[in-house]
Amino acid sequence: MTMRDLVIRLRSLWQAARASLGRARAMGMPKREIFGRTMAALRRGPREFARSLVRFAWPDAGQASAFTPGLQDEYMSWLATLESVPAREPQPTAGRVSVVMPVYNTPERFLREAYESVCAQTYGDWELCIHDDASDVPWMEGLLAELERHTRVRVSRGRQQSGIAAATNAALALASGRWVAFLDHDDLLHHDAIAASVARLVSDAGNLVYTDHDALDRAGRRCAPFFKPDWSPDLLLSQMYLGHLVVVERALVERVGGLRPAMDGAQDYDLVLRCVSAGAKVVHEPRVLYHWRQHDGSTSANADSKPYAHHAGRRALQDYVGDRYPGARVDDGAYTFCYDVRYPAGAAKASIIIPTRDRLDLLQPCIESLRELTVGQAYEIIIIDNGSAEASTASWLESMAGPGFRVIRADIPFNWSVLNNIGAREATGEVLVFLNNDTEAVQADWLARLVEVALRDDVGVCGPMLLYGDGSIQHAGVVVGMGGWADHVFKGEWPVHHQRLFVSPVLRRNVLAVTGACMAIEARKFAQLGGFDESFVVCGSDVELCLRAHRQGLLNVYAGESRMLHHESKTRDPQAIPETDFHRSAEAYAPYRTEGDPLYNRNLDMMSAAPRLRARP
């Protein structure tokens, strides 16, 4: 290599390092995680370190874009078929729906279009309750007087501006319906919005329903659809994902005291949290039934347009978690309108259980990364040695023996479930963490975050975000039924906060399952569930355990703020799966393989790990 070549390579490496650091900061990556990833890459040698920098600095273009022109065209084509789907017919006794709409200086065209969208509803029993919060634009009084002539429209007027929550409460005071639907004064309802929402409330015996929604761009075209999961309490604690449309039982709204003016800007978030706290059954109608108008002042077009709303949301969330999880603390998330709830873990200890057979080239970096980076959490490491034969492995394991590090010899035919059950019986920690030997820690608090979630009384199993060596996602939650069996949603995409069709890949949310490559569960719950099903030999028992926890009413959680590297399937042939695992998985994964995963969305393609629109018949 000439000196010129060396200079070129060093300059390129420096540019990649700067670009990687800039991208990591833009993603909101903590300094400790940046350090952890750097050390993990360096351990693999200078060549792999350089390649990792380049891959991370300049990923494939378009991976993190929120809504591309191509996706817009695809959505338009998809809608052309979707609109032919008839509304679900509500039962005759479903009751009146009061559409509540506070207004203030609304552009005349926007208010008229909102009104017309209510009049166009296929559901017959509705009323529109409007409260004007002391508008001072010249067209408002004449327009309100015109709308008021409609027999189903009720209007009240404020003498002085009172704020969004108080104005909404004034509109609520006009309501006589069994149900209340909230409509912003510049947005539109789909013509089936009320019919489909009420039908879902009645069929699922719900108190509160939310729907999927999209946006209207400045030209009035529908864009940016958000296809939501069914009820996900942990996602609601990360962001107000329900958004629009929300329809609530009026008696419930009255019971919790209506909207709180102190929470202006996040008054809807606060109301939902208090309804949930009061025992509301929340259900989801997976149709795009609300159109959120984008303009310069709206949060749909500019997330930073209302910073006071973010702070109000944090206060509302703190009120909720303070009651539900005593000692919990709400921190600002890395992104506007996103939050990071931390839970008390006390003096709990974690038992990290790692099955292995030789492959010291993987096990040693794994253990070293745990010891170098993990802070803020007491833990022990239990190695289940499944017949290692190399002298170097035996020597290294012997050298590691000491407090907090144990080796259990298990000279038996490989069975992932059996090996981990052996480790669980030997563990002394309150939380069990089942970890593959081909993983590496990249941030200091990865374990503390898993432990604090696993200790919650309502949580079954939780797992972190796992990343490939190039920084792309290997695991961000399992969708049962994806690919015909079960797969990792967002696999191969970049860990960047966006809302493209589905939820953000980096936010904490509920899932049916997480991967056994790294999963945490409270030891007493693991025992109560009966441990891993040993009829599974290589794969499937991780998902099956999660599904058992789900059936017991426990929440499984993908904790995206906890991150590790995973060099997937480097210790076994991923094709060498015994037939019995397929048979047992087919039994365990029913009915989700055919009916879909409720924590994904039926409108998305189950054969694609990246969220894509499902083909319509």
Judge whether 474 and 439 are in contact, CB under 8 Å.
no
Are 318 and 353 found together in one domain?
no
Within a domain: 393 = yes
Q: How many domains does the chain have?
A: 3
* Residue 98 binned pLDDT confidence (cut-offs 50, 70, 90): very high
The pLDDT value given to residue 603: 94
* Residue 25 binned pLDDT confidence (cut-offs 50, 70, 90): low
Which residues are paired to 467 by β-bridges? Answer: 473, 565
The pLDDT value given to residue 568: 76
Check which CATH number belongs to the domain holding 382 and give it: 3.90.550.10
Least confident of 83-87, 147-151, 152-156, 436-440: 83-87
Least confident of 66-75, 87-96, 567-576: 567-576
Q: What is the pLDDT of residues 262-321, one digit of tens each?
A: 999 999 999 999 999 999 999 999 999 999 998 655 554 444 556 889 999 999 999 999
The pLDDT value given to residue 299: 53
Q: What are phi and psi of 48, to 5 degrees?
A: -70, -35
Are 162 and 293 found together in one domain?
yes
* Residue 446 binned pLDDT confidence (cut-offs 50, 70, 90): very high
For residues 135 and 313, what is the distance between their CA atoms, to the nearest angstrom? 26
Q: What is the pLDDT of residues 484-505, one digit of tens each?
A: 999 999 999 999 999 899 999 9
* Residue 114 binned pLDDT confidence (cut-offs 50, 70, 90): very high
Count the Cβ atoms, other than its own, within 10 Å of residue 169: 21
* Residue 373 binned pLDDT confidence (cut-offs 50, 70, 90): very high
Rg over alpha carbons for the chain, rounded to the nearest Å, is 27
Which residue shows structure tokens 């056994």? 516
Identify whether 591 is preceded by a cis peptide bond (ω within 30 of 0).
yes
Are 27 and 90 found together in one domain?
no
Within a domain: 331 = no
Are 318 and 365 found together in one domain?
no
Rounded to an integer, the average pLDDT of 396-423 is: 95
Least confident of 59-63, 83-87, 186-190, 523-527: 59-63
Which residues are paired to 613 by β-bridges? Answer: 604
What is the secondary structure of 475-530 as a DSSP string? ES-EEETGGGSEEETTTTS------SBS--TTS-EE-SB--TTEEEEEHHHHHHHT
The pLDDT value given to residue 41: 72
Asked if the model's pLDDT at residue 173 lies above 90, the reply is: yes
Asked if the model's pLDDT at residue 347 lies above 90, the reply is: yes
Asked if the model's pLDDT at residue 243 lies above 60, the reply is: yes
The pLDDT value given to residue 70: 75
Are 226 and 301 found together in one domain?
yes
* Residue 218 binned pLDDT confidence (cut-offs 50, 70, 90): confident
Are 38 and 94 found together in one domain?
no
Within a domain: 301 = yes
Q: What is the pLDDT of residues 138-158, one digit of tens each?
A: 999 999 999 999 999 999 999
* Residue 37 binned pLDDT confidence (cut-offs 50, 70, 90): confident
Least confident of 22-31, 119-128, 374-383, 433-442: 22-31
The pLDDT value given to residue 398: 92
Asked if the model's pLDDT at residue 5 lies above 60, the reply is: no
**Percent of the chain's residues with pLDDT above 70:** 86
Within a domain: 344 = no
Q: Which residue has the higher pLDDT, 182 or 55?
A: 182
Are 46 and 142 found together in one domain?
no
Q: Which residue has the higher pLDDT, 247 or 302?
A: 247
The pLDDT value given to residue 27: 57
Q: What is the pLDDT of residues 556-577, one digit of tens each?
A: 999 999 999 998 755 555 567 8
Judge whether 206 and 281 are in contact, CB under 8 Å.
yes
Are 44 and 98 found together in one domain?
no
Q: Which residue has the higher pLDDT, 65 or 218?
A: 218
Pairing of strands 518-522, 431-435: antiparallel
Asked if the model's pLDDT at residue 343 lies above 70, the reply is: yes
The pLDDT value given to residue 64: 38
Q: Which residues lie closer than 8 Å to 128 by C-beta, 6 or more apart? A: 98, 99, 101, 115, 118, 147, 150, 152, 153, 154
The pLDDT value given to residue 450: 98
Within a domain: 71 = no
* Residue 472 binned pLDDT confidence (cut-offs 50, 70, 90): very high
Are 302 and 418 found together in one domain?
no
Within a domain: 617 = no
Q: What is the extent of the structural domain holding 32? A: 3-57
For residues 522 and 515, what is the distance between their CA atoms, to the nearest angstrom? 16
For residues 94 and 431, what is the distance between their CA atoms, to the nearest angstrom? 46
Instruction: List, in sequence order, the alpha helices (H) in 325-445.
Output: 360-373, 391-400, 416-426
Asked if the model's pLDDT at residue 18 lies above 80, the reply is: no
Asked if the model's pLDDT at residue 48 lies above 50, the reply is: yes
The pLDDT value given to residue 4: 46
DSSP symbol at 609: S
Which residue shows structure tokens 């994806």? 482
* Residue 87 binned pLDDT confidence (cut-offs 50, 70, 90): low
For residues 540 and 537, what is the distance between their CA atoms, to the nearest angstrom? 8
Are 416 and 546 found together in one domain?
yes
Calculate the average pLDDT of the chain.
Answer: 89
Are 16 and 153 found together in one domain?
no
For residues 515 and 352, what is the distance between their CA atoms, to the nearest angstrom? 15
Within a domain: 571 = yes
Are 272 and 389 found together in one domain?
no
The pLDDT value given to residue 96: 96
Rounded to an integer, the average pLDDT of 212-221 is: 92
For residues 435 and 193, what is the distance between their CA atoms, to the nearest angstrom? 46
Within a domain: 343 = no
The pLDDT value given to residue 301: 44
Rounded to an integer, the average pLDDT of 372-396 is: 95
Q: Which residue has the higher pLDDT, 201 or 7?
A: 201
The pLDDT value given to residue 409: 95
